[in-house]
Amino acid sequence: MSAQARPAGPSSYTRAADYIAAALIFLQDNVLLTEALRPEHVKPRLLGHWGSCPGITLVYSALNALIRERGADVLLVTGPGHGAPAIHANLWLEGTHERQDPTLARTGEGLRELARRYCAPDGYPSHLSPSVPGTLHEGGELGYALATAVGAALDAPDRIVACVVGDGEAETGPTAGAWHSTKFLDPVTCGAVLPVLHLNGSKISSPTLFATMTDAELADLFRGYGWDPRIVDETGPASGAALTTGVLDAHDTIRELQRRARAGDDLPVRPAWPMIVLRSLKGAGAPAEVGGTAIEGTFHAHQVPLPEAREDPVQMKALESWLRSYRPEELFDAEGRPAPEVLAGLPEADALIGAQPAANGGRLRRPLPLPPLDPHAIALADGPGSTTASPTRVLGGWLTELMEATARRRDFRIVSPDELASNKLDAILKASGRAYVWPVEEYAEDLAQDGRVMETLSEHNCQGWLQGYLLSGRHGLFPTYEAFASIVDSMANQYAKWLKMSREVPWREPVSSLTYLLTSEGWRQEHNGYSHQGPGFISNLLDRKSTVTGVYLPPDANTLLVTMERLLDETGKINAVVAGKHDAAQWLDLDAARAHCQAGASTWTWAGTTDDRPAEAVLACAGGIPTVESLAAAHLLRRDLPDARLRFVNIVDLCALALPDRHPHGMSPDRFHDLFGEDTPVVLDFHGYPSAVHQLLHGRPRPDRFHVRGYVEEGTTTTPYDLLALNGTTRHDLAMTLLRHLDRPVSRTRRLAEQYARHRDELRRELRHTGVDPAEITEWRWQDDRHRAPRGRPIAGPGS
């Protein structure tokens, strides 16, 4: 049937879907109303949101028509995930629920089972989740649907990603930023996003901003963003005909823009992609009013319109009247199977929205062709610390080769908040430019319409794009300034929950891990000031489920290469890698780096003084700057307390500190004992907040013997050494801390500690006079001088 000849009034399909959605919210038995409704048929706990369900079903039905009549490849991202009853209803009608779980068959018993599971223990949550076929976005925390949809459309030239954006969600900052995403969508190599801004008027108890705007204001706003808005009104007796026509017309416009671009024809200077603004009644179909309270079309329809239906006879009667208004006896046969006319408009089985392959992207994922590390590894000219390099610049060379290796298959992207060059990763731009479609000034560099580097000053956009890209079967990396990764703390939290739940769904295949490369770390943001000094993203990840998170602190370029090689081949995780960008000493050759990263933490025998004797203290570190300061502290003590038996331990996989039953990376008790002993005091210099390490050490033998130094929220615009001093993490502070825990005459250790403290304070006075750190700090190099007299200027400290 053509769009122009569609009948007026709700179709049998939308009636059936709306009936099922309402039944899921309210009923636990008698789901097809084969008898009079009684209190025991109603759930004792009524949960869910009815308000957006009818509008979601209108969208779903229109997309079914698009698939059926145009053969479109459609993926649906639903922003108002609390409209889950509508999605479940449509999935049940199309049979994809039954395909994944035969107990949810399209029968009365199957529908009863679906209703029983909705918002029940061990059942489906009130929002969308990984257990729901056809979904790759929960929609529980509002704001991220549109960016996620764009990510799923990247490098998928035939895909249409329809995205329902609720008018409440549209008020969020992340959604506001995401409207700019079309400027990054190449019409040749990418698919398209078709947003449907669903205006049904109100949130929980107040009007939405967008619903109060006039059509002219909405059109002006979205034209300004670069869209071609089409306003569809389904506020009357909604048949869905106007929306279906709008969707088909929008699709034709999309395909014409893509056809012209792919044929090499001239495109408009600023191609405007169609979007739909859908006006519909809030909770359409619900009772107009009950007990003097208006429901349909008001905020009272947002959640459960009749919350006392089980106990209140008036609400019970209204509920039964509401449900019977859909005439379920016409929609389902005696066994509860949908009538043929209900299913007549569905696409073929393999083209159903719930069966969309990209919504289970792990099945589409191909391993990356990771380049060999050897050509990029740093050789140590004369032992540890004898060579300097920028870890991220070295990594950039390897990533450039990876970008080149994926040029034809187009399944690897880098998203970053305008920081690639700042973080010395700009070599990658030789292999792929910065994606951008609109015209720019001539002085702009490295822009490419088909670029696979996406830079924008919106961490939310970067996160959403990458989530959509990974969840639909591809690979990517997210480099960003460490301090500003916390902007997406909440998004990372939600994504960690998604991954955790995905592991519990047997038919979901794992997707590529989401890896953050946290650069411009806080210890080298002294020039930018306090606002840029924040390692809290690590702590946030450590609070997430241990099976889906990892934190890595490679101390040099080779360990960074090895870490990234591992993580870009991994699935089902969220990882944070903290790495420096400035030239710094390199400690391990490639073979040693591989062994160190495999172990997660290991003893650097060349830095310690045990000589195979039992250690009386351990000097440990995790992070690039802490490694330098800890080695310098070891150097001080080797020189000034040569009889001390010190073990030096470096930690690259932070979660190795945890017990193995608390984190899959946790080292065994025997391995932990080998590194840290049982009663041995440990001074551990950590890149982030000390509480993060104490959290991981909980349950280990004598955790009180671990004296953790780290960032304690002291900062300002100053010098690198002074920032360390403000937080008590200089080489002098570390040495002083360790001295307090050695079994030596107090007079000897106290005198040495006082000398270190005086020298630290002298250095701080000097840097305040000059404005820069003293040369003995900036030019310090590791020297293994235990068995020979000191050469040149001594390292900072007394006794030279």
Question: What pLDDT, in 10s, does the model give residues 661-691?
Answer: 999 999 999 999 999 999 999 999 999 999 9
Of the pLDDT bands very low, low, confident and very high (cuts 50, 70, 90), residue 237 is: confident
Residues 212 and 302 in one domain: yes
Say if residue 284 is in the same domain as residue 378. no
Which pLDDT belongs to residue 2? Answer: 34
* Nearest-angstrom CA–CA distance, 129 and 119: 12
Cβ distance 694 to 703 under 8 Å? Answer: yes
- What span, in angstroms and rounded, lies between the C-alpha atoms of 538 and 523? 14
pLDDT tens, position by position, 25-37: 999 999 999 999 9
Same domain, 455 and 330: no
Residues 474 and 534 in one domain: yes
Please, which residues have CB within 8 angstroms of residue 315's CB and are 6 or more apart in sequence?
A: 290, 291, 306, 307, 308, 309
Q: Is residue 354 part of a domain?
A: no
Three-state SS for 528-569 is CCHHHCCCHHHHHHHCCCHHHEEEECCCCHHHHHHHHHHHCC
- In this structure, the answer to whether residues 579 and 490 fall within a common structural domain is yes
Beta bridge partners of 32: none
Contacts of 220 (CB under 8 A, 6+ apart): none
Buried b vs exposed e over 521-530: b needs ≥16 C-beta within 10 Å?
bbbbbbeeeb
Q: Which residues, 6+ apart, have CB-to-CB distance to 727 below 8 Å?
A: 709, 710, 711, 712, 714, 715
Q: Are residues 318 and 385 in the same domain?
A: no
Distances (CA, A) of 659 to 546, 595, 703: 11, 21, 12
Share of the chain above pLDDT 90, in %: 91
CB 408 within 8 A of CB 452: no
Residue 796 in this model has a pLDDT that exceeds 50 = no
Please name every residue paired with 550 in a beta bridge, in sequence order, or none if there are none: 575
Residue 585: phi, psi to the nearest 5?
-65, 145
Tokens 């040029």 identify what position? Answer: 407
Question: Residue range 679-704: average pLDDT?
Answer: 96
Cβ-contact 683, 620 below 8 angstroms: yes
Q: What is the mean pLDDT of residues 488-492?
A: 96
pLDDT above 70 covers a percentage of the chain that reads 97
- CATH of residue 764's domain is 3.40.50.920
User: Average pLDDT of 642-650?
Assistant: 95
477: β partners: 414
Residues 527 and 659 in one domain: no
Q: State yes or no: pLDDT of 798 exceeds 60.
A: no
Q: Do 538 and 421 lie in a common domain?
A: yes
SS3 526: coil
Q: What's the mean pLDDT in 426-452?
A: 93
Strand order across the 227-234 sheet: 73-78, 159-166, 192-199, 273-280, 227-234
Q: Is 105 helix (H, G, I), strand (E, B) or coil?
A: coil
Tokens standing for residue 342 = 């209900």
Rounded CA separation 485/505 (Å): 29
Indicate which CATH number applies to the domain containing 553. 3.40.50.970
Q: Are residues 169 and 267 in the same domain?
A: yes
In a domain, 188, yes or no: yes
pLDDT, position 1: 33
Residue 750 lies in a domain: yes
Which strand (E) or helix (H) includes residue 465? helix 459-471
Of 584, 616, 644, the residue that ends a domain is: 584
For 251-273, letters b (16+ CB in 10 Å) and e give bebbeebbeebeeeeeeeeebbb
pLDDT at 9: 62
pLDDT digit string (tens) for 500-525?
A: 999 999 999 999 999 999 999 999 99
pLDDT surpassing 70 at residue 790: no
CA angle 407, 410, 415 (to 5 degrees): 100
Say if CB 54 and CB 284 are below 8 A apart.
yes
Quote the distance between the C-alpha of residue 749 and its chain's center: 48
Q: How far is CA 721 from CA 154, 291, 768, 772, in A?
A: 44, 71, 11, 9
SS3 label, residue 125: coil
Q: What pLDDT was estimated at residue 418?
A: 83
What are the tens digits of pLDDT across the range 578-626? 999 999 999 999 999 999 999 999 999 999 998 778 999 999 999 999 9
Q: How far apart are CA 750 and CA 752, in angstroms?
A: 5
Residue 519, both tokens: 């650069």
The token pair that represents 189 in the structure block:
């190599």
pLDDT at 125 over 80: yes
Domain-embedded: residue 359: no
Same domain (yes/no): 630, 547: no
Q: What is the mean pLDDT of residues 194-207?
A: 93
Of the pLDDT bands very low, low, confident and very high (cuts 50, 70, 90), residue 313 is: very high
- What is the enclosing helix (H) or strand (E) of 329? helix 328-331
With the CA atoms of 297, 299, 302 and 307 taken in that order, what torsion angle do they form, in degrees rounded to the nearest 10? -100
Max Cα–Cα distance, the chain, nearest Å: 98
Both 383 and 334 in one domain: the answer is: no
CB 316 within 8 A of CB 43: no
Q: Under a CB-based contact definition with an 8 Å cutoff, are residues 797 and 759 in contact? A: yes
Residue recorded with tokens 């489906």: 124
pLDDT tens figures, 87-100: 999 999 999 999 99
Mean pLDDT computed over 440-459: 93
pLDDT for residue 472? 98
pLDDT of residue 794: 26
Ranges of H-type helices in 143-277: 145-153, 173-178, 215-225, 241-262
**Which position has the token pair 């029968």?**
107
Task: Give yes or no for residue 6 having a pLDDT over 70.
Answer: no
pLDDT mean across residues, the chain:
94
Tens-digit pLDDT profile for residues 339-365 = 999 999 999 999 999 999 999 999 999
Does 675 share its domain with 711? Answer: yes
Query: Considering only CA atoms, which of 151, 148, 152 is closest in space to residue 165?
Result: 148
Strand arrangement, sheet containing 549-552: 447-448, 434-435, 453-455, 412-416, 475-481, 514-519, 574-578, 549-552
Q: Which of 196, 608, 224, 548 is nearest to 384 (CA)?
A: 608
Residue 4's pLDDT is what?
38
Closest CA to 60 of 113, 127, 135: 135
Mean pLDDT of 416-437: 94
Tally of domains within the chain:
3
Q: Residue 783: its pLDDT value, please?
A: 86
SS3 91: helix
| pLDDT of 788 above 60 | no
pLDDT for 628 equals 98
Neighbours of 335 (CB within 10 A): 12
Whole-angstrom Cα distance, residue 180 to residue 200?
A: 24
What mean pLDDT do residues 61-89 have? 96
Q: What range defines the domain where residue 430 resides? A: 374-584
Q: Which tens digit of pLDDT belongs to each residue from 239-293? A: 899 999 999 999 999 999 999 999 998 878 899 999 999 999 999 999 999 999 9
Interatomic CA distance for residues 341 and 609, integer angstroms: 83
Under the banding of pLDDT at 50, 70 and 90, the label for residue 784 is: confident
User: Residue 10 domain-assigned?
Assistant: yes
pLDDT of residue 746: 87
Burial of residue 122 (CB within 10 Å: 0-12, 13-18, 19+) is exposed
